[in-house]
Structure formats: structure tokens, C-alpha cells
Structure 1
Amino acid sequence: MLKDITLGQYYPVDSILHRLDPRTKLFGTMIYIISLFIADNIWAYLAATIFLAGAIRLSRVPIRFMVQGLKAIVFLLLISVSFNLFLTPGEAVFQLGFLKITKEGIQTAAFMGIRLIYLVIGSSIMTLTTTPNQLTDGLEKSLGFLKKIKVPVHELSMMMSIALRFIPILVEETDKIMKAQMARGADFETGNLIQKAKNMIPLLVPLFISAFRRATDLAMAMEARCYRGGEGRTKMKPLRYEKRDGAVYALCLVYLAVIAILRIKA
């Protein structure tokens, strides 16, 4: 399951989304996340589905690869859907003792489940089509206005992109440590919740040591290359908007307007 986490990974392929400016992809992702929280009816979610399907098609990333990332949130998804299904008041459809399923609960649970799934897939598209360097440059450019109030935008962008890039690395490291510990007789599956938590200690200790070692190596490598922050730095490949970026901006705004109209008229 650990290897199924797609957030933070980059899928190298030539596509329209890969060639877009990272600022455009950040804007599109933000608009899509906002639209998911605005949507409150089946027509709005249908529009969100069409938009997401189009993005997946343009990215040329296999849908099977993206769906793998959902395995990591199955537990969270079940909890979210169950709470909304059984705790939402309204017109009762089924009742067994103190458990009651309402018509409103079914609708809310369905929308909540779809929203969570779409949030994961939509966010994954951005990282799958954007390299860490592009993501850093895009964040720095997008948040450039904060420099006027002395916010270290470059350093914050670098930290965020490094943290995102470390997700698949640490996941792979965790999988290796788990297999090594299981080969030595460790058991991560059986027992109650407290026993499972205790069994995780042999996994967490070497994982933290490995994470600190990687962080130290990265800091030494950056220092050896005379990294001193963003002040006075130049770009080998400066970001420039193309015509396709303008078209995507317009498409995202039209999409958000459609979602808002569908919400108002519902």
C-alpha cells in the first residue's frame, strides 16, 4: 500500500499538462479544489468529473497509476463516509436500533466520498506533471508579492517542494525497513491497537534516523554548491507564459463560473 502513494511523484512523459507553466498548474489545482467545496449537487459534481477526466486525458498519465494513490486513503474515506452516513439528521430510510440512515445522510456521504477522491486525484495530477524544480519556481513566482512584506518566499517554496519530493522517498524507505523487520520476525498486523502501536517502534526509529541522514546530506550538498537562498539568484530556464497558459487560465475561470451557477440554480 505504501508504494501506491502517488502524491509527490513525477511521471515523465510528454503531454500538454507537462509543458504548461507551473504557475498555471498551481492556479488550476487551486480552482479545482475551490470548486469541489462549492459544489453541492449532482450537476456540479458532474461538471467536476468532466473537468478532471479532461485533465487526466491531457496529462497522458495512466488512470490506473492515479487510482493507486487512493488505496492510501481508504481508511480515511471509510471513516468520513460512515460518519456522514449515520450522523446526518433527516428523513429516515433505514433504522436498526440507534443506527439510522437518512436520505440526507446518503447524499452527504456520497458527495463527501467523491470530494475526497477528487481532491487526491486532482492534487496528484499537479505533482505527476511538474518536476520539483518547476514546482519551486512556480511557487516562488506565484507568491512573489509577499516579498514586499519581507516574507522569505524562495526559502518557503524550496521547503515545500523538498517536503513534497521527500514523500515518495520516505515511503520507499519505509517499505524497505518494513520488509527487513518482517524478515527478522517483526509483526505489524496482529494484536490490538496498543500492540500495533508498540510494534511500530522498530519501524519508526530507523525511519527517523534515515530521514535525518538524508536531510543532513541534502543540506551539505546545498552548502557545497554555495546555496545562500534566493537573493541574487538567476534562473537557467526562467518561467514564461505561452498562449496555451492563457487558454488554461480562461478555461479554469469559466469552469469555476459554471460550478457557481450550478450551485445557485440548484
Structure 2
Amino acid sequence: MSDITIGQYVEGRSLIHRLDVRVKLVLMLCGITFVFIAGNYFSMALITAFTIFIMLLTGISLFKYIKSIKAVIMIVLFTAILNLFYGSGEPIFKWGFMEITEAGINNAVFVAARVILIVLMSGVLTFTTSPTDLTDGLERIMKPLKIFHIKVHEIAMMMSIALRFIPTLFDEFNKISNAQKSRGADLESGNFITRIKAFVPILIPLFISSFRRANDLATAMECRCYNGGDGRTRMKVLKIKPRDIIALSVSVLVFVGVILCNIFLPYPER
């Protein structure tokens, strides 16, 4: 649980920190799209190198990014192992009805790489963008939806609050878990069903604490006369600057490179 880093903001003055939040949101969405578009090892290597380059530009310790991967490593391994046995061609290894082919290995590598890259890209966004800026950026991007009478500001606010409270809830989980262990609770022995039942005394206080926090937050917003996005002004006005144009241009070149790699370079057996 201590490896959960989603929603954590790391203050800094790097180039990535100072980019317009709308640019970062658009680039993250485009990056995730091109992670799935990358169809061979060359295009995947290009998007991976670009992601690592962006991570280095943030000035944030790589250990923090590794912690974010550790939180989903079991999902990565599980999906990779499943895809290992899906593939046509001559089997490299066979045991009973299970067989591993070159196509299966390629599938496993691509699935694992895609999940890891998505986690890293999401980490770059949340590590370098404060919840307030993220709310403003989401609201600006979804602004055209207002013509359909959709409450864009409220949706953006809910998404930002939910993202912000992820690390808070996991921290609360650790506190309650340690408190139960100090009272003699055994959370690690027994079969799967027994261990699930042992977590009930943790989940109930966690839900109660979550509702209490939500109520406190609602009270605080009401005391500050919060009434949604109508008539609200902003302390920071978002403006596209030259560094944002440069970031978009470099990203477009990388994405074009991914497409060219897909067109002119060979695909692995799938």
C-alpha cells in the first residue's frame, strides 16, 4: 500500500511542471493512444525512450516512478503470463496442453510494456500538476460540453478530488491496519477466504472515515460559499506559452516517428 503514488503532487520548477496543464493532459491522452498504436519493437522503443526523457525532465527521482510501477506489478505479470500462451506458430516450449510460441512472447512483452508506460505517463501528469491546476485544465478541455448543459466544472472538481484522496485513503488504510495488528489481529495467515474475512475490521472503519472526510470537505466548501462553477473567477489564467508550443511540436514529431516505424519497419510475429 505504501507504493501507491497515484494522485501525489511533487512540487518543483522543472520544464514539465511549468507546462500548461491543458498541454500536459492532451499529450498524456495522445501518448496513451500511441502506446496502443505502436505495433513493432522500433515504435515501442521510440515511445519508451520519449517517456523516459520526459521523466528525466521532471527532475523527480526515478525511484518514485519505480514505486508507482511496483503498485501494479502483479497486474502486469498476470496479464503478461496470460498473453504468453496466446499466439500462433511453432511452439518454443510445450508442457501438456500449454505451449509458448514466439508470437506469445511478443504479445506478453507488448502488453507488459503498454501497462507500464501508461502508469509512467499518468505518474508524470499527477507528479507535476497540482490538484487545483488539474481541475482547471479538465474544465477548460471539457468546456465545449457546456452546450449540452453538462456541468463541466462539477465533473472536473469531482475527478480532481477523487484523484487527490487516493493516497489519503491508502494512508488511512495503513493506519487502521497497524492499529488492528497492535490489537492482535492476524491479517496474513490462513487461506484466501480467512484473510478476506480478517480485513472486514479494517474496511468498515475505512468506509466510515471516508464518509466523515467527505462530510468535512462538503462542510468546508459550503462555509466558503462554494456553489459550483457559475460566476467563478480564477487566480491563475491559463495561457499557451512558447514552451508549450515547443513541447507540442516535439511530441508531434515523436508521434509521427511512431507511425513511420509502423509503416516502414517489420512487425513481430503476433
Provide the secondary structure at the position in 1 that maps to 2:71: helix
Provide the secondary structure at the position in 2 that maps to 1:87: coil
Kept in 2, the 8 Å contact 1:9–1:168? The answer is: yes
Kept in 1, the 8 Å contact 2:55–2:124? The answer is: yes
Residue 241 (str. 1) matches residue 240 (str. 2): yes
Q: Which amino acid aligns with 1:239?
A: L
Residue number in structure 2 paired with 1:34:
33
Residue number in structure 2 paired with 1:219:
218
Work out the CA distance in 2 between the residues paired with 1:203 and 1:89: 46
Alignment of 1:43-82 (within 5 A): 43-82=42-81
Q: Which amino acid aligns with 1:45?
A: M
Residue 8 (str. 1) matches residue 3 (str. 2): no
Kept in 2, the 8 Å contact 1:86–1:105? The answer is: yes
**Pairwise CA distance, 1:89:** 3.3
Residue number in structure 2 paired with 1:152:
151
Alignment of 1:122-201 (within 5 A): 122-201=121-200
Q: Which amino acid aligns with 2:126?
A: T
Work out the CA distance in 2 between the residues paired with 1:250 and 1:107: 31
**Pairwise CA distance, 1:10:** 0.4
Work out the CA distance in 2 between the residues paired with 1:110 and 1:178: 36
Residue number in structure 1 paired with 2:268:
none
Kept in 1, the 8 Å contact 2:38–2:262? The answer is: yes
Alignment of 1:91-130 (within 5 A): 91-130=90-129
Q: Which runs of 4+ in 1 moved over 3 A?
A: none
Kept in 2, the 8 Å contact 1:89–1:102? The answer is: yes
Paired residues in the alignment total 265
Kept in 1, the 8 Å contact 2:89–2:102? The answer is: yes
Work out the CA distance in 1 between the residues paired with 2:108 and 2:248: 32
**Pairwise CA distance, 1:87:** 3.1
Q: Which amino acid aligns with 1:173?
A: E
Kept in 2, the 8 Å contact 1:31–1:252? The answer is: no
Change in CA separation of 1:90 and 1:203 when aligned onto 2, cut-off 3 Å: farther
Work out the CA distance in 2 between the residues paired with 1:90 and 1:174: 47
Provide the secondary structure at the position in 1 that maps to 2:137: helix
**Pairwise CA distance, 1:91:** 2.1
**Pairwise CA distance, 1:82:** 0.8
Kept in 2, the 8 Å contact 1:91–1:104? The answer is: no
TM-score, normalised via structure 2 length: 0.96
**Pairwise CA distance, 1:109:** 0.1
**Pairwise CA distance, 1:264:** 2.0
- Unaligned runs of 5+ residues in structure 2 are 266-270
Work out the CA distance in 1 between the residues paired with 2:242 and 2:170: 38
Work out the CA distance in 2 between the residues paired with 1:59 and 1:143: 26
Taking only aligned residues, the RMSD between alpha carbons, in angstroms, comes to: 1.0
Kept in 1, the 8 Å contact 2:22–2:141? The answer is: yes
Residue 250 (str. 1) matches residue 241 (str. 2): no
Provide the secondary structure at the position in 2 that maps to 1:240: coil
Provide the secondary structure at the position in 1 that maps to 2:135: helix
TM-score, normalised via structure 1 length: 0.97
Cα displacement string for residues 105-159 of structure 1 (whole angstroms, at most 9, x for unaligned residues): 0011011111111111111110000000000000000111111111111000000
Deviates more, 1:255-264 or 1:213-222: 255-264
Work out the CA distance in 2 between the residues paired with 1:162 and 1:108: 36
**Pairwise CA distance, 1:171:** 0.9
